[in-house]
Amino acid sequence: MTTPGRLVSNSVVAAVGSVTQRLLHFGTALLLARGLGGEQFGVYAFVSAYMSLFGFIVDLGFERVIARELARAPERSGELLGTGFIMRAILSTIAAAAAVGVAWAVRLPELTRWCIFLAALGMPLSVDIFVRSFFQVRFQVHYNYLLTMPGSIMFVALAALVLSLGGNLLIIFGVALITGVFSVSLMLWVGLPKMHVVWRLNPQLVRYLWRESWELGAAFLVWLITWRIDQVLLYWLRGPSELAQYAVAVKITEALSLISESVMVTIFPLLASTQVSAPERFRRIYQLTVRYLVVIVLPIALVLTWERDWVLRLLFGAGYAAAGAALVILAWWAFFAYMGAVYVSLMIVRSQQRLIAQVSTVSLVINVALNFICVPVWGAAGAAAAMLVTSASSFALFCVAPQSRNMMRVCCDEAVRPLVAVGTTALLLALFAPPALRAFATVPLYAVILSLIGGVDRDDWQLARQLWRATPDA
């Protein structure tokens, strides 16, 4: 198979695997939310967010740089992987100790502390990230999904069994640790014979990796805190029950992100391959991608607005009805998330990680300040509002930054007609349609209005096929 053929095949497998995995994770959240109840599910959400904040100690950007070097110099893969494995194991141990130490130092509730302890025991299992990188750069990404899916399915099955027998949250974290060990063991069993790892820490290589990765690590740290600090603060300021309400709204909107993520898995290699060699093609690719992601997300947000109560009852049960306001706010936040999936990818392709880190730092300050203001008063809805305002602020900052201004202008231009169409749809349905019919009429009416104002074009499909055409091997 030619390189373009392998690239397309790899992208399609990654897209399908990512969607399947995201749906499985969403199903797991449904199971735990219903089986644990609001109080324990809130603790579960807090522990997940809390542990992710210590993930920056484990990452520091090394994984991305090692993946790049594996692609550039496959003859050094054994040395790169060996250094990566050893560094990851050391950093994971430090992060686990820090997470447990902080939890005991601040005297979190006993159940929460022991759940953190079990989660911390699993942090060294993150060494599997280098096995994933190895398969990815060899265009064998199907291994990543084939080897991790059994563990995910096992966790769902065992968690369902535990909950049916009356087990508590602590046992669920124990099951997660057991299935994590199984998954990583399976990956290492298959991957290590192919990898020829040199089990030696190379100080010179460590210095090089740190020099190359610190900016990425800083951007990742700020991004991670921005996306998870709201759940930690909500737990501290309003308690686990309120966090549970927010967490189900987050789970629904994060599940929707599988659309943008799946699209970008396929589009990103095209952007990377055309940014220098075919700049006009590069511009048209991201122009069409922004346009149709915005076209897709806006009617979804409107339907969730009309049917928020029904969606929450159907998926999570009546006990999570109070999440309605947070769900509506996060549904419209998805507009910024979908556009962000494109323009952040563009900045990575253009090596603008420093700009991402700078804007993310400002966004983090805004997010924390808004959470302290909004959460004590409005709870879950306040946390959602803080996230929406933060994302809008981040978008605005990228729009005014000289390095990204022209690119963001394209994003804004492509969003105008879909926004007009969804606003007109919402107004007409609110004025003339009975509540029971609004959700059913949203997509057809939106599609008609969008077509009338030129928001979609029949020629786009022909252009998309031309943009996707394979290029010959160099």
* Helix (H), strand (E), coil (C) string for 285-354: HHHHHHHHHHHHHHHHHHHHHHCHHHHHHHHHCHHHHHHHHHHHHHHHHHHHHHHHHHHHHHHHHCCCHH
- The answer as to whether 255 is a domain residue is yes
- Span 437-448, average pLDDT: 95
125 vs 184: CA distance, rounded Å: 6
Residue 144 has a pLDDT of 72
pLDDT tens-place string over residues 306-316: 999 999 999 99
User: In the chain, how many domains are there?
Assistant: 2
Q: Could you tell me if 176 and 322 lie in one domain?
A: no
Q: Higher-confidence residue: 65 or 84?
A: 84
Residue 14 has a pLDDT of 61
Q: Higher-confidence residue: 50 or 9?
A: 50
Q: Could you tell me if 261 and 193 lie in one domain?
A: no
Is this prediction's pTM over 0.75?
Answer: yes
- The answer as to whether 325 is a domain residue is yes
Amino acid code (one letter) for 56: F
Can you tell me whether residue 373 is helix, strand or coil? helix
% of the chain surpassing 90 pLDDT:
46
Residue 471 backbone class (left: φ over 0; alpha: ψ -120 to 50; beta: rest) = beta
Neighbours of 43 (CB within 10 A): 26
Q: Could you tell me if 247 and 195 lie in one domain?
A: no
Q: Could you tell me if 80 and 181 lie in one domain?
A: yes
- The answer as to whether 227 is a domain residue is no
Q: Could you tell me if 64 and 173 lie in one domain?
A: yes
Instruction: Using the predicted structure, report yes or no on whether residue 172 has a pLDDT greater than 50.
Output: yes
Task: Give the phi and the psi of residue 61 in degrees, each rounded to 5.
Answer: 85, -5
125-129, 179-183, 284-288, 389-393: least confidently modelled range: 125-129
223 vs 256: CA distance, rounded Å: 19
Q: Could you tell me if 144 and 260 lie in one domain?
A: no
Structure tokens at 386: 């803080």
- The answer as to whether 216 is a domain residue is no
Q: Could you tell me if 245 and 192 lie in one domain?
A: no
Residue 470 has a pLDDT of 44
Note whether 244 and 320 are within 8 A (CB): yes
Q: Higher-confidence residue: 227 or 141?
A: 227
* DSSP line for 143-188: HHHHHHHHHHHHHHHHHHHHHHTT--HHHHHHHHHHHHHHHHHHHH
- Span 54-79, average pLDDT: 71
Per-residue confidence band for 91, with pLDDT thresholds at 50, 70 and 90:
confident
pLDDT tens-place string over residues 213-235: 766 677 777 777 777 888 889 99
- Span 114-129, average pLDDT: 89
Note whether 94 and 72 are within 8 A (CB): no
Report residue 356 CA to chain centroid gap.
Answer: 16
pLDDT tens-place string over residues 250-276: 999 988 887 887 777 667 767 776 777
- The answer as to whether 226 is a domain residue is no
**Mean pLDDT comparison of 82-86, 219-223, 235-239, highest-scoring range:** 235-239
pLDDT tens-place string over residues 2-24: 445 555 555 566 667 677 777 88
Per-residue confidence band for 471, with pLDDT thresholds at 50, 70 and 90:
very low
Structure tokens at 132: 């994933």
- Span 105-122, average pLDDT: 94
Per-residue confidence band for 111, with pLDDT thresholds at 50, 70 and 90:
very high
pLDDT tens-place string over residues 354-396: 788 888 889 889 999 999 999 999 999 999 999 999 999 999 9
Note whether 354 and 216 are within 8 A (CB): no
Decide: residue 364, CB within 10 A, 0-12 exposed, 13-18 middle, 19+ buried: buried
Residue 298 has a pLDDT of 96
- The answer as to whether 207 is a domain residue is no
Q: Could you tell me if 30 and 162 lie in one domain?
A: yes
29 vs 45: CA distance, rounded Å: 10
329 vs 419: CA distance, rounded Å: 16
Q: Could you tell me if 260 and 168 lie in one domain?
A: no
Q: Average model confidence (pLDDT) for the chain?
A: 84
Residue 70 has a pLDDT of 73
Nearest to 448 by CA among 469, 428, 465: 428
Instruction: Using the predicted structure, report yes or no on whether residue 337 has a pLDDT greater than 70.
Output: yes
153-173 b/e with 16+ CB inside 10 Å = b? eebbebbeebbeeebebbbbb
Neighbours of 448 (CB within 10 A): 12
Domain residue limits at 412: 240-474
Q: Cα separations (Å) of 181 from 121, 141, 177, 362?
A: 10, 21, 6, 38
Residue 180 has a pLDDT of 92
Q: Could you tell me if 155 and 38 lie in one domain?
A: yes
Instruction: Using the predicted structure, report yes or no on whether residue 474 has a pLDDT greater than 70.
Output: no
**Mean pLDDT comparison of 71-80, 176-185, 191-200, 282-291, highest-scoring range:** 176-185
Q: Higher-confidence residue: 21 or 444?
A: 444
Rg for the chain, CA atoms, rounded: 23
Residue 3 has a pLDDT of 47
- The answer as to whether 405 is a domain residue is yes
Residue 43 has a pLDDT of 94
Q: Could you tell me if 246 and 197 lie in one domain?
A: no
Residue 324 has a pLDDT of 94
Can you tell me whether residue 471 is helix, strand or coil? coil
Residue 397 has a pLDDT of 95
pLDDT tens-place string over residues 397-439: 999 999 899 889 988 999 999 999 999 999 999 999 999 899 9
Per-residue confidence band for 460, with pLDDT thresholds at 50, 70 and 90:
low
Residue 2 has a pLDDT of 46
- Span 196-225, average pLDDT: 75
- The answer as to whether 145 is a domain residue is yes
Q: Could you tell me if 244 and 169 lie in one domain?
A: no
Count of helix runs (H) and strand runs (E) in the chain: 18, 0
Residue 1 has a pLDDT of 47
- Span 141-150, average pLDDT: 78
Q: Cα separations (Å) of 37 from 220, 244, 315, 388?
A: 32, 9, 13, 27
